[in-house]
Structure 1
C-alpha cells in the first residue's frame, strides 16, 4: 500500500505557508482573535489620555481596587506596549495580582495638532498632572513604572514634584548616568560631540516618523531582528506555533512605534546625553531647575543583565544621583525589550513588580530577588554588558566576539594614548580663546556686552543665567539688556558716563552691568556695606542704579537714583522724589535710539568698571579696563577648560572683582551656564550644587571653610563638581576641600589688580603653588631681590639679574594694555628701553618652573633673626592636618619686631608639637616665626581673607597649651610659658 502522506504532507505545508503568508501580506499579520484588556479613558487632554485598565466594579460589595500603578511608555513606542498580550501583558498580570493598573498614553504626536513641537518638559509636566489625577481618584499615592525613556520620565517627574504623591518608582532599563556606559560602549567623547551636533543642527530641523523609529530600534540589534524574521518564515506553515507570539511580533515589527518630535529628541540629546544632567542635576523643566537628588521615595531599578541599550552601569547611576532615596535593584537575564514584554517578563518581571508594590503597601514581603543597590558597584564589574554575557546571550556570539575583540584592542590603544588625547582635546578647546586673547590690542573692540551679544547670536536658546531655581536663556537675557540700554538712553545716560551700581547679586544686577557695558558707560560697582558717599566720590558717579532693597541707601546720596528690578507694579516713591526714576515703567519700544548710539563701542583700553577694596581701613578705587576684564574672562575659560555643559556657581557678589571677572567673565566667554547665589549659605550649598548641576565653583580665600565647617554639611552620594576656581585658598583648607569633594580639584589663580601679571595652577598637583604664567596673559619675569636692603639686584652690565631657582625675587610683568599711572614702572630692565611693571610681590620659582608666592614687598616682617615671609609660613603651617587657616603678622615690642603665626583649626582638630616642628622645619625661604598659637576663630574680610588687624591688636599671645615659641638654641618649638613670654617682652610691653 502506498503511503500518500509522503506526498500530501509537503503539499499541505506549502498550502498552509501560502495561506498564512497571504494573510500576513494583506493584514500585516495573523488574526489571533485576542482581545485587548478592558480600559476606560479617565482623562483626555491634547497632551495625553489617561487609561484605567480593568475599571473597578462600583456595585455595592465589590472588591476595592489595589494600589495604583501608573505606567509610562517611551516617546517612540505606543502605550499599547503594556498590553501586547492579555495573558502575558503587564496590565493583565498586575490586575490579576490585585494591583490597579493605569497607563498614560501620549499618543502619536504626528496625529495631534502641535504634537511635533512637543519637548521633554511637556511630557514631564503631563506625567505630573496625571499623577495628580490618579491620586485624586484613588485617594492613594501612586507607584510610577516606566520603561526605558519612560522610566527617565518617572525620575524627572518625581524630582519635579519632589516626590509628592508618589509611593515609589519602578524603572526598567532606564539610563541615568548616560556617559557611564553608552550603548555598545561607544566612547563618551564621541557621543557627547555627536549629541550636541545632532541636537543643534539636525533635530532642531527634522522629526522622526514612526517607520524611522521602528527601523532605528531594530537596527540597534540587527542580528536578533534578522533571526526573528527567519524564524517567523520557517514556522509560517504552523499557525498554532505562531499565534501565541503573533501579537508581540506585530508590535515589534510595525504597530508598536510612533513618531518622535524633533524638539523632544534635541532636548534629550542635549540635557541627558551631552550634558548628562540626570547625574549632575540642573536640568530644566519649563524654566524650573530640577535635580534627582530631590527624590526621596523608594526606587526599584530593573536591570537587564544583557541589556546593551540601558546598560547596567548607566541604569545603576540612580543610586548616586538620588542620595535621599532608598534604591533597590532587580537583576534579570534579559535584553532591553525583554525586560517588559515576553515570557520572561511575564514569569519574572511583573510578578516581582507586583510583589514590590504590595510590600510597600504593607501586604506581603519584599520579593527575594530585590536587593539594595550598592553605592559603588564592584570594581571592574559594571562598565557595560560583560563579554561573557554577550557570548551566551543570542546567536550572534561570533559577531559580537569579533566586535568586542576589536573594541578591546582599540581601548588598549586609547589607554596608551590617553595623555596625548587629553592634550589634543584641551588644545582644541582653549586654543581659539587664547588666540583671540593674544590678538587683543588697545584698539580691539571687546567688552562684556559684546561677548554676551555674540553668545546670544550663536546659541539664542542656550541656557545662561540660573537664579532662585529658574533658568534664563542667552536670548532672553540679551533682550533684557537691550531694553535696559534703551531705558538708560531715555533718562540721558551716555557713553562714558560713570554710573554707580548698588544692587544685591541678582539677574537685574548682571543686566545693569552688561547694559552699561553695551552702552559704553562705566559701571562703578558700589559695595552695599561700604561708605557709599566716598565710593561715589572716588568713582566719579553721576547716577546710581539701585534695586528696591537698596533704594533707601541710594536716596541718601545727592544723586539721581534709577531703580531696576523687583517687578513692575511698585510704588517706590510715594512722596514724589524727583531724583528717583523707576526704570521698569519705561517702555523700551517707544524709546528712539539717538544717532550717536552704537552698541558695544568699548575698546580694550577703555575703562569699563570701577571696583573697590579696603586698604588700611581706607576705601580704594580699582580701575578695570575692558582688557583687564577680557584677560580674566578668557584666562578663566581656558584654565578651567569651560565648555557648554558646565555650570559655574558664583558665590561672590557681583561688586567683587572675582565675581565679575572670574565667575561671570569665564562663564560668558566659555558659553556656559552661570548660577548666581544670594550669598554664601552653607545650609543650602550642597542642595544648590545639585539643583543647578554645578560643575565649577568659584571662591575667594577661605570662603569654602564656612561650607565644610557647617554642622549641616553632609555630602551623601555623588556630586557634579569637577573644579573649584579662585584665588587665595589656604593650603590646609585646600586639602580638606579636595578630600571632601573628590575627585574634584582646585585651580588657583594669582592676578595683580591691573591684570598685568596672571598666574594659574591649572593641574592642582602642587598645593599652595600659584602655577605658571597664563598663556596669552603677557610675559612675566622674576627679578633677583636683596631682602635686607629692599633692592632689585643688577648684573655688572647694569641690567636686572634674573632670580635663580628657588631664589626670592620680585615679579615683573611686561605690560599689555593700559598701565595704571600709579604702578611702579621700570625701564631698561633686561634690554635698552624695555618697559616693565613691578607687581611688588615676592615669589620664588621652583625647578619645574612653578611660582610660589612668598610675600608682598611691603609686608615682609624684618626680625632680628632675619626676614619672615608670611605667605611662605602660612603655606607651611597649613600643611598640618588640623589647620584650616594660618595668618602671620608682626607684633612690635619696643623697637623689636616679632613674627607671630595664628592658626585656626578644623572642628575637633588639634596641633601636636611634633607636627608643628615638622611642618616648619624646612621653610623654603626666610626664617621661622617667633611665636605660633591657635585662635578660636579668625575674623575675615568681605572677601574671606583673614584680617590681621584684630590679631595684631591682641599683642603677644598669652601662655597656653596651644601656644609655642621657637627656641633659638635647639631650633624647635616649645610650649609658650609665662616666663618665656616675659623674656620675649623684655622690659617693654606688646603693642
Structure 2
C-alpha cells in the first residue's frame, strides 16, 4: 500500500489553516466554547456596575460566602480581564479557594453619556462608594485588589477614605514612585516634563479610543507583540494547540481594550507622573487633599521581576509612601500582563492572593514567598528592570540593550547632584524670572495682584491655595479677589487708601491682601498681638478689614470695620457698631466699576504694604514697595527653583514679612501651590507635609526647633520636602534639620528691610553662611571697616576701600528702586557722585566669595580684649552638637562691657568644657565672649527670634557647673565659680 501521508499532510495542514483563518477573520478568533463565570449586578449607576461573581446560595444551611475581594481594572482595560478564562481566571480561582469575588466595572466611557469627561476623581469616588456597598451587603471589611492603574485607584481610594472598612490592599504592578521607573527606562526629568506637556497640550483636547489604547500597550513591547502574532500564524493549523490561549489572545488583541477619557489621562499625567504625588502626597480628590500616608491597612504589592511598565523600583515606592501600613511584597518572574492573566498568574499569583486573604482572616498561613517589603530595597544601578533580567526574559532584547547602554553612558557623564536635563529645566525656569526682575524700574507696573492675574490667565485650573485639607484653583481665587475688589469699591475704598488687614492666616486674608493690591491700595498688615491703636496710627489706617474672629478687637478702634470671610449668611447686628460693614452681603455683580478703576495699577516704586516689627520694645512700621515685594518674590522663586510641581508650606502669618514676601511671593511668581497653616503645630507638622505634598517649607529663625524638639516628632518612611527656605536659622538647628529631613537642604536668605541687599545660600553647602548676592538683586560690596573707631575706611584717592578676604566689612548696596528715607545714604563711594546705601550690617567674605554675617554695626560688644561679634560667636558655639540655641549680648559691670553667651541645649544634651574650648578657638573673627552659660529656655519673639531683653535684665549669670568664664591668662574656658563671679562683680566672695 502506498503511503500518501507526505502528500496529504501538507494539504490537510493547508485546509486546517484556511478553515481556522476564516473563523478568525469572521468572528475575531477561534470559538472555544468557554462561558463566562456567573455574576450578579448588585449595583448599577452611570459611573459603574458592581458585579458579584458566583452569587452565594441563600438557602438555609448553605455555606456562607468567604471574605470579599473587590477587584479594580485599569481605565483602558475591560473589567472582563478578571474572567478571561474561567478555569484560570482570577474570579474562578478565588471562588474555588473560598473567597467572595467582586468586580467594579467602569464600563466603556465612550458608550456612556458624559463618560469621556470622566476624571480620576470620579473613579476614586465611585470605587469608594462601591466599597461601602460591598461592606453593607457582606457585613465584612473589604480586600481591595487592583491591577496596574486599578491598583493606583485602590491606593488613592484607601487614602481618600483613610482605609475605612478595608481589610487589605493587593496591587499588581501598580506604580507609586512613578518617576523612579518609567517605561522604557526614560529619565525622570524627561518623563516629568513630557507628562506635563502632554497633560496641558494634548490630552486636554483629545481622548483615546479603545483601538489606540490597545496599540499603545502593544507598542510598549513591539518585538514581543510581533513575535506573538507570528507564533499564532505558524500554529493556525493546530486548533488544539491554540485553544488553551485563545481567549487570552483575543482579549489582548482586541476585546479587552476600552476608551480612555482625556481629562482622566491628563490628570494621571499631571498629578501622578509630572508631579509624582502618589509619593509626595497632596493630590486632590474633589477638592480634598489626600496622601497615601493615611493608609494603615495591610498591603501586598505583587512585583513583576521583568515588568517594564510597573517597574519594581516604582512599585516598591508604596513602602515609603505609606509608612503607617504593613507592606509586603510578592516577587514573580513575569511581565506586566502576566501578573494577573496567564499560566503563571493561575498557578502562582492567584493562589498566593488567596492565601494572603485567608492569612489576614486568620484562616491559614502566609505564603513563604510573601515577605515584608524593605524600606530601601537594593535596586540595580539603573532604575527599573535590570538589563540582565530583560535579556534573560528575552523581551525586546535589542531595544532594552540600547536603552541600558544609553543610560549608563548618561550616568557616567552627569554628576550625581543633577542631571543635564535637570540643569536645562532649572535654567529654563530661572532665566526668565531673573530677566524680568532685572528689567523692573520705578515705572514698571508690578504687584501681587498683577502676577496673580497672569497666573490665573495662564493656568486657570492650576491648583494654587491649600487650606484645611481643601484645594482652590487659580481661577477660583482670582475670581474671589475680583469680587472683593468690587466690594471695596462699593464701600468707597480707592487707590492709595491705607487699609488695615487684621485677619488670621486663612484664604480670606490672602484674598484681602491681593484685592488691595489689585485696587492699588496699601495693605497695612496688623499683628493681632500688637497694640492695634498704635499700629493703626503708625500705618495711617482709614479702614480695617477683619475676619469674624478679630471683629471684636477691630471694633474697639475708631475706624470703619470691613468684615470678610466666614460665610455669607452672618448676622453682625449684635455688635451694635454702625461702622461694621459685612462685605459678604455685597453682591459684586451689581457693583458698577467707576471710570477711575484700573486693575493692578501699582508701579514698582509705589508703596504696597506696611508691616510691623518690634525693635527695642517699640513697634516700628516697615514700608514695603511693590519693587521690594517683587525682589523677594522673584528671588525666592529663582533661588528655590520653584515650579508647578512644588508646594510651598507657609508656617508664618501673612502679616509677617516672611509670609508675605517669601512664601506667598515665591509661590505666586513660581506658579506653585501654597499651603497655609493655622500656625506652627508640631503635632500636625509631618502629617500636613504629606497631606499637602509639601516640597518647600518656609521658616523664620528658630521656628523649626519646636518641630525637631517635640517629643512626638517622628519621620517614618517617605517625605516630600526638598527645601527649607527662610532666614535666621541657627547653625545647630540647621544641621539637625538637614539630618532629620535628608536629602532636603536649607536655603538661607539675608535681606535688608528695604530689599536693597539680598544674599542667598542657594547651594546650602556651607552651614551658617548667608551665601552670595542674588542674581538680579542689585550690586553689593563689602566696605573696609575699622571696628575700634567704628569707621568705614577710605583709600588714598578718598573713595571707600574694599575689605579683603575674611576681613570684617560693612555691607553696602547700590540702590534700585525707592530709597528708604531712614536709610544711611553714602555718595561718592566708589566713583564721583555715585550713590550707595549702608545696610549697617557687618559681614566677612571667605576665599570662595561667600558672605558670613558677623554682627550689626551698632551691636558690636567692645571689650577690653577687643570686639566681640555676636553672630560669629553664635555660629561657632551653635556647631556644638548639644547646643540648641545661642545668643550673645552685652552686660555692663562696673562701667565696662562684659560679653555673655547664653545657650539652650537640645533634649538630653550637655556641653563638655573641651567642646566649648574647641568651638571658640576656631572663631573666625573677633574676640571670644567673657562668659558662657546654659539657660533652661529662651523667650522667643512672634517670629521665633530669641529675645535678648530678659537675658540682659538678668545680668551676670550665677555660678554653676553649666557656666564658664574665659581665663585671660590661659585663653581657655573654665567653670564659673562663686569666687570668680564675686571677683568679676567686685564683691567679697565670703558675702
**TM superposition score normalised by structure 1:** 0.99
Match of 1:630 in 2: 630
Contact 1:294–1:324 (8 Å) recurs in 2: yes
1:654-675 Cα deviation digits (max 9, x unpaired): 0000000000000000000000
1:378 Cα deviation (Å)? 1.8
Matched, 1:552 2:552: yes
Equivalent pairs, count = 989
CA distance in 2, matches of 1:687, 1:382: 32
Which residue of structure 1 aligns with residue 711 of structure 2? 711
Alignment gaps of 5+ in structure 1:
none
Tell me the residue number matched to 1:502: 502
1:701 aligns with 701
SS of the residue 1:595 aligns to: coil
- Please give the alpha-carbon distance, in whole angstroms, between the structure 1 residues aligned to 2:901 and 2:489: 54
**Does residue 1:138 correspond to 2:138, yes or no?**
yes
Q: Which range moves more in the overlay, 456-465 or 372-381?
A: 372-381
Please give the secondary structure, in 1, of the residue aligned with 2:355.
helix
Any idea what the Cα deviations from partners look like across 1:444-468, whole Å, max 9, x if unmatched?
0000000000000000000000000
Q: Which residue pairs with 1:30 in the alignment?
A: 30
Tell me how far apart the structure 2 counterparts of residues 239 and 426 of structure 1 sit (CA, whole Å). Answer: 59
Q: Secondary structure at the match of 1:574?
A: helix
Q: 1:275-294 CA distances to partner (integer Å, 9 max, x unpaired)?
A: 00000000000100000000
Q: Deviations for 1:599-637, whole angstroms, at most 9, x for unmatched residues?
A: 000000000000000111111000000000000000000
CA RMSD of aligned residues (A): 1.2
Q: Structure 1 residue 382: deviation in Å? A: 7.5
Taking structure 1 as reference, are residues 121 and 399 closer, same or farther at Cα in structure 2, changes over 3 Å only?
closer
Q: What SS class does the counterpart of residue 229 from structure 2 fall into? A: helix
Alignment of 1:422-501 (within 5 A): 422-501=422-501
User: How many Å separate the matches in 1 of 2:565 and 2:648?
Assistant: 23
Paired residue for 1:801?
801
After TM superposition, give the deviation of residue 511 of structure 1 in Å: 0.1
- Give distance in 1, aligned partners of 2:776 and 2:383: 40
- Paired position in structure 1 for 2:536: 536
Structure 1 residue 924: deviation in Å? 1.2
Per-residue deviation, residues 719-774 of structure 1 (Å, max 9, x unmatched) = 00000000000001001000000000000000000000000010111111101111
Tell me the SS of whatever aligns to 1:962: strand
1:518 maps to: 518
Distance across 1 between alignment mates of 2:583 and 2:416: 60
Tell me, in whole angstroms, the C-alpha distance in 2 between the residues paired with 1:43 and 1:416: 53
Shift of 1:439: 0.2
Counterpart secondary structure, 2:961: coil
The corresponding residue for 1:594 is 594
Q: 1:141 and 1:117 mapped to 2: Cα distance?
A: 32
Of 862-871 and 200-209, deviating more is: 862-871
Distance 2:553 2:413 in 1: 64
Contact 2:729–2:748 at 8 Å: present in 1 too?
Answer: yes
User: CA shift at 1:816, angstroms?
Assistant: 0.2
Alignment partner, residue 358 of structure 2: 358
Output one character per residue of 1:427-486: Cα deviation in whole Å (capped at 9) or x when no partner.
221110000000000000000000000000000000000000000000000000000000
- In 1, are the aligned partners of 2:221 and 2:396 still within 8 Å (CA)? no
Which residue of 1 is the match for residue 314 of structure 2? 314
Which stretch has the larger CA shift, 600-609 or 806-815? 806-815
Structure 1 distance, partners of 2:352, 2:420, is 48
Q: Are 2:380 and 2:386, in contact at CA under 8 Å, matched by a contact in 1?
A: no
The equivalent of 2:293 in structure 1 is: 293
Aligned in 2, Cα 1:396/1:192: closer, same or farther, shift over 3 Å? closer
Name the residue aligned to 1:336: 336
Q: Counterpart of 1:89? A: 89
Describe the superposition over 1:148-175 as per-residue Cα deviations: whole angstroms up to 9, x where unpaired.
0000000000000000000000000000
Tell me the residue number matched to 2:823. Answer: 823
Q: Is contact 1:312-1:382 (8 Å) kept? A: no
Matches within 5 A, 1:677-688: 677-688=677-688
Contact kept? 2:504, 2:547, Cα under 8 Å: yes
> What is the alpha-carbon distance in structure 2 between the residues aligned to residue 30 and residue 421 of structure 1?
50
Alpha-carbon distance change, 668 to 303 in structure 1, aligned in 2, over 3 angstroms = same
- 1:872 matched to 2:875? The reply is no
Query: Secondary structure, in 3 states, of the residue corresponding to 2:798?
Result: coil
Name the CA shift for 1:337/1:142 in 2 (closer, same or farther; >3 Å). same
TM norm structure 2: 0.99
Maintained 8 Å contact 1:893/1:988: no
Q: Distance in 1 between matches of 2:417 and 2:859?
A: 47
Q: Which residue of 1 aligns with 2:232?
A: 232
For each residue in 1:846-896, what CA deviation from the matched residue of structure 2 results, as whole angstroms up to 9, or x when unmatched?
111111111001111111111111000000010101111100011111201
CA gap of 1:416–1:73, structure 2 versus 1, over 3 A, is: closer
Match of 1:737, SS?
helix
In structure 2, do the counterparts of structure 1 residues 398 and 206 end up closer, same or farther at CA, with 3 Å as the change threshold? Answer: closer
Greater mean alpha carbon deviation, residues 348-357 or residues 861-870 = 861-870
Q: Distance in 1 between matches of 2:864 and 2:595?
A: 68
Q: Is the 8 A contact 1:548 1:572 kept in 2?
A: no
- C-alpha distance in 1, partners of 2:403/2:607? 60
Q: How many Å separate the matches in 2 of 1:627 and 1:408? A: 47
- 1:987 deviates by 4.5
Flag the 1:807–1:415 CA change in 2: closer, same or farther, 3 A. Answer: closer
Alpha-carbon deviation of 1:215? 0.3
Asked if structure 2 preserves the Cα contact closer than 8 Å seen for 1:877 and 1:886, the reply is yes
Q: Aligned equivalents of 1:468 and 1:82: distance in 2?
A: 39
Deviation of the 1:681 alpha carbon: 0.2
Q: 1:395 to 1:570 in 2, by over 3 A?
A: closer
> Counterparts of 1:730-745 in structure 2 under 5 Å?
730-745=730-745
| Contact in 2 for aligned 1:913/1:973 (Cα 8 Å) | yes
Partner of 1:814: 814
Distance (Å, rounded) in 2 between the aligned partners of 1:326 and 1:557: 57
- Against the structure 1 CA distance between its residues 892 and 438, is the aligned structure 2 distance closer, same or farther, given a 3 Å change threshold? same
Question: Which residue of structure 1 aligns with residue 116 of structure 2?
Answer: 116
Which segments of 5 or more consecutive residues in structure 2 lack a partner in the other structure? none
